[in-house]
Amino acid sequence: MALKSLPGISTRPTSDKVKESLFNRIGPYFDGGTVVELFGGSGSIAIEALSRGMEQAVVFEKNAKACAIIKSNVEKCRLDDQVHIERKDARQAVAILQQKNVVIDLLFVDPPYAEVAYYDGIRDLVSQGLLSEEATIVCEHEKKVVLPDAYESFIRVNSAIYGNTAITIYEKRG
């Protein structure tokens, strides 16, 4: 099913090739859990995770037009009762997720490529105990961006490059 995305350069949807490879790497199917997608864009990652067995999704997107597209895509996929859209900046994620008592099983972080400081927010989510013991963190970024080897006890376990796009995956160790 084709999903809508915001035209122009304000959002950069994850390509189907990258998405397919990503989900093959982190496990093609899930047994429940909650996915949090920061920088939702079209919401395609959350929708894909739900279609593969996640139970709930929280999608952060500050752009009003992108939020409308996410809402449309979620409705088209009949996932209205499983997706909560937060029209907020990703820097507000910690407070909002704490307030909602959300425990993250899959965290997808894909800020605009020029905004590498947003990756620092991962540390806040980890240090506040918002990720489950079995959680996976996925970062999509420009291939020239070097992310840390770890976010506290979440260690880089996999990386891949697809053209100008890189995917870095972290899981808890120790």
Condensed to tens digits (0 to 9), the pLDDT of residues 2-39 reads 666 666 544 556 677 788 888 888 877 899 999 999 99
**pLDDT on residue 8:** 55
Neighbours of 127 (CB within 10 A): 12
Find the radius of gyration of the CA atoms of the chain. 15
With 0-12 CB in 10 A as exposed, 13-18 as middle and 19+ as buried, what is 2? exposed
Q: Which pLDDT tens digit goes with each residue over 72-94?
A: 999 999 999 999 999 999 999 99
**What are the structural domains, with CATH classification, of the chain?**
16-23+31-165 (3.40.50.150)
What φ, ψ does residue 162 adopt, rounded to 5°? -130, 95
Residue 29 pLDDT: 87
Distance in angstroms (rounded) separating the CA atoms of residues 149 and 57? 27
Quickly tell me which residue has 């999903």 as its tokens.
3
The predicted structure's pLDDT at residue 24: 84
In this structure, what token pair is assigned to residue 46? Answer: 């959350």
